[in-house]
Amino acid sequence: MCFKAIYGIALKGFFVLIFLQFICISVVHANIKTSKDIAKSNRSFYTMHMQISNLRKSIKGLSNEIDRLEKKLGEKNKRYLQVVKSVNRIEDKIFTLKKELIQREGKLKGIYQETKKILRGVIVNAVEDNEDSANLLSTKIFIKRLQKKIKVVKASMRENQELKKMISIMRKRIAKHHALESDLLTMLNDMEANKKVATDAYLKDIREKELLEIKYAKLKDRIKHKKRNLGEVAKKNREVLKLAIRFNTPLEDFAGVEYKTKGITYKFKDVRPVLASRSGKVVYVGSLASYGNVVMIDHGEDIRSILLGEFGPKVKKGMAISSGDIVGYTKNAGGKLGRLYFEVRKKNIAQNTIQIMEDKFRNKILR
């Protein structure tokens, strides 16, 4: 009886021991699973945190870029409209002067023909009639006056022709000005398009940032709850995330470059020579509002290269230059990075400039 009682107690103790062991193993497995979940959540948490931080920087940069573009476009548009108004006024004056010259030319031709007709009549009458000496002298004086008048009319007609030639030259100069003006207007339109792209990217990043911040807050709460339950286990599992034609580069020494599907923006630190990318002729030297100075070089076959930014031109309109000649010098940005924009155009259409640069430069920045 005593033996049976002892046996029964031992048997119960054995089952209790097995049950406790099972409970301990289950708890350990549950802790391991929870630790893995927290580690995974931590990775997502820090990844999301970095994404939000990067988006915040991107949004700030885009906002500054939009402000800068709006200011520059506003200033340049106002100046462009003033230039167009002045050109139109000059064209109106040229048109009026040309009209007056044509009318004057017609009158002079009429006077010339009429005077010649009278002169012929007087000469014929003098030959046919037997006039006395007094009448003959009077006729000679009259003929001399008519001849003098013809000379004056001829001189006026020649002067009229010279003035017409001058007006024709002025019209050609205005036409060239219009062509350059059109190129500058196209650049303004491209800048307006860039502003739209920057605005769209800004709004997209704002939306993405808002969604990530919501997910970030939820994930943060979930991790906080799991950390409270697991304590040190969560701490140990936390991880920290870590053209057939080629152009030479106009700036050989630069701090960095940016490029998309059109031009290339060079970043520089101090004064550097700005070089001609190919041989050609300088067709425009000027400034474009607060974007900086502009030099436009014609390379023939409707191909032009444009340099725009913080540099001082050392060339003049009409100059012939060779590849590698110094066009100007970059300006000291006072500790900040200066910018120089380079673009190639064919028939006034911006080309994918990075694709037509010489291989050495492309290999340097694309590697």
Min mean pLDDT across 116-130, 241-255, 280-294, 317-331 is at 116-130
Question: What domains sit in the chain, N to C, each tagged with a CATH number?
Answer: 1-242 (1.10.287.950), 256-366 (2.70.70.10)
The answer to whether residues 79 and 86 touch, using CB atoms and an 8 Å cutoff, is no
Question: How far, CA to CA in Å, does 99 sit from each of 95, 164, 167?
Answer: 6, 10, 11
pLDDT of residue 43: 62
Residue 314, SS3?
coil
Query: Which comes out higher in pLDDT, residue 83 or 208?
Result: 208
Cα separation, 184 vs 232, in Å, equals 66
For residue 115, give every residue at least 6 positions away whose Cβ sits within 8 Å of its Cβ, in sequence order, or none: 146, 149, 150, 153
Min mean pLDDT across 29-38, 49-58, 137-146, 193-202 is at 29-38
Q: Give 265's strand partners.
A: 258, 341
Tell me what the pLDDT averaged over the chain comes to: 77
Q: Give 339's strand partners.
A: 267
Q: Sort strands 273-275 and 280-287 into parallel, antiparallel or unpaired.
A: unpaired
For residue 230, give every residue at least 6 positions away whose Cβ sits within 8 Å of its Cβ, in sequence order, or none: 31, 34, 35, 38
Min mean pLDDT across 58-62, 131-135, 152-156 is at 131-135
Query: Over 80: is that where the pLDDT of 75 sits?
Result: no
Residue 237, SS3?
coil
Instruction: For the chain, give the longest Cα–Cα distance.
Output: 191
- Percent of the chain at pLDDT exceeding 90: 26
Cα separation, 164 vs 99, in Å, equals 10
CA 269 to chain centroid = 21
pLDDT of residue 31: 46
Cα separation, 107 vs 114, in Å, equals 11
The answer to whether residues 175 and 137 touch, using CB atoms and an 8 Å cutoff, is no
pLDDT of residue 160: 81
Query: What is the per-residue pLDDT across 276-318, written as a single tens digit (0 to 9) for each?
Result: 999 999 999 999 877 899 999 999 999 999 999 999 999 999 9
| pLDDT class of 93 with cuts at 50, 70, 90 | confident
